[in-house]
Amino acid sequence: MIEKTKIIIMDRDETSRAILKDYINEIENTETAAEFLEYARAAEYAENNECIAVIDISDNEQKAIETIAEINKNNHNVKIIAISNKTTTETIIKTMRAGAKEFITKPVTKTQFINTIKELSASSKALAGDNSCKIISTFSNKGGIGKTSVAVNLAVEIAEMTKEKTALIDLNLQLGDVSTFLDLTPSFDVCYVVNNLANIDKTNITNALTRYKNTSLYVIADPINIENSKEITSEQIKALILELKKTFSYIIIDVGTNIDAKTITALDMSDLILLCAIVNLPAVRNIQRCMNLFKKLNYPQEKIKLVLNRYMENEEIKTTDIEEVVNQKVFWKIPNNYLTMMSAINKGVPVNLINPEANISVNFRDFASKVTDYLITQNIKKNSDSGFVL
């Protein structure tokens, strides 16, 4: 017998609950497992059962969002659909960031609701293909720009802020240094993981990665042996990323500088490419070259974001000049702070641990919010364009 997908409803409005129950009745292999009038009771159920939780956030938005965050923290198997009669972009972002998978505006229409439930129950059954994992790459075709510094500090902050499982992959197969930046002694490197992917217990793939301290960040380290790394194929990289997508909410890839098949595979699979540059003439030319490459690869504009690293106020070349030349807005600027950055690298810690109040540490925290907010907004846009939700 096929096990039915359990759906719970937390909505104080009786009529609204009755309508939702009617919709659920029409979906094959689903059932309304419970109804709640209190957030705490709904949370108690959802934290202990695999289900889809439909939570009305209109009544007490703050409390509802806290409840969603709590459920999400304590039970990753629950898929939360937030419903509300008040829809502002800010509310949607806060709700999704707390862990809701979808947001539907009230009155909830039948087609929207049924499609959403079908989509979510399919993704919980066939874990693969779940689009909730977001892949972020740091890229530059020039060395020494700060790609690794950006990837490492951003990954630490995203994991800290979201508490979601975050993977950091070092794809600099010749000269990787992510493990040095975080002072990790990995048991396995990227070569081992890709070569043994078939034998690794997929339900516990985190065991093949190196956990960064007691956080939700897991690292796939740079190859210990450069010779072995030459054997890695782009197909293996693809298989690895697809496998990680099933477990992780965010994957951050420090992509190599060489434009080869492996780099392109990683870039193709990314939801967001952070094109890193510094402010000088050769770097601006390089941005142009990369933009041309992305154009050839048919990447949509919204997938590429320009990040200026080591930025100093009063730069000779103005940000607006760069934007005009490369026809791309600057997404983020990271201040030049050599002392804090060098000290962090030398000690093998993120900048936040050197000095949380330093401009660069504050900047990375804000950057993590900006990136995750952007990805959530893109997701909402994609879903609404396809008529899925909203």
Binding site for ligand ATP (CB under 6 A): 140, 143-149, 172, 257, 309-310, 334, 336-338, 341-342, 345, 360
CB burial string 8-46: b at 16+ within 10 A, e below: bbbbeeeebbebbeebbeebeebebbbbbeebeebbebb
Question: Which C-beta is closer to ligand ATP: that of 146 or that of 186?
Answer: 146
Question: Which C-beta is closer to ligand ATP: that of 80 or that of 360?
Answer: 360
Pick out residues in 180-199 that bind Mg ion (CB under 5 A).
none
Q: Which residue has the tokens 């779940």?
A: 130
With CB under 5 A as the contact rule, which of the stretches 77-85, 101-109, 131-139, 145-153 interacts with Mg ion?
145-153
With CB under 5 A as the contact rule, which of the stretches 90-98, 116-124, 139-147, 208-216 interacts with Mg ion?
139-147
Min dist. Cβ of residue 27 to ligand ATP (A): 49
Min dist. Cβ of residue 170 to Mg ion (A): 8
Min dist. Cβ of residue 254 to Mg ion (A): 6
Question: Which C-beta is closer to ligand ATP: that of 142 or that of 303?
Answer: 142
Min dist. Cβ of residue 176 to ligand ATP (A): 8
Structure tokens at 74: 């304590």
- Are the CB atoms for 211 and 182 separated by under 8 Å? no
Min dist. Cβ of residue 270 to ligand ATP (A): 17
Handedness of CA 283, 284, 285, 289 (dihedral sign): positive
Amino acid present at 112: Q
Q: How many CB atoms lie within 10 A of CB 305?
A: 20
Question: Which C-beta is closer to ligand ATP: that of 69 or that of 277?
Answer: 277
Q: Which residue is nearest to Mg ion (CB)?
A: 148
CA distance 250 to 97: 13
Question: Which C-beta is closer to ligand ATP: that of 143 or that of 387?
Answer: 143
Question: Which C-beta is closer to Mg ion: that of 157 or that of 222?
Answer: 222
Min dist. Cβ of residue 179 to Mg ion (A): 12
Which of ligand ATP, Mg ion, none interacts with 179 (beta carbon under 5 to 8 A by kind)? none
Pick out residues in 146-165 that bind Mg ion (CB under 5 A).
147-148
- Give contact residues for Mg ion (rule: CB under 5 A): 147-148
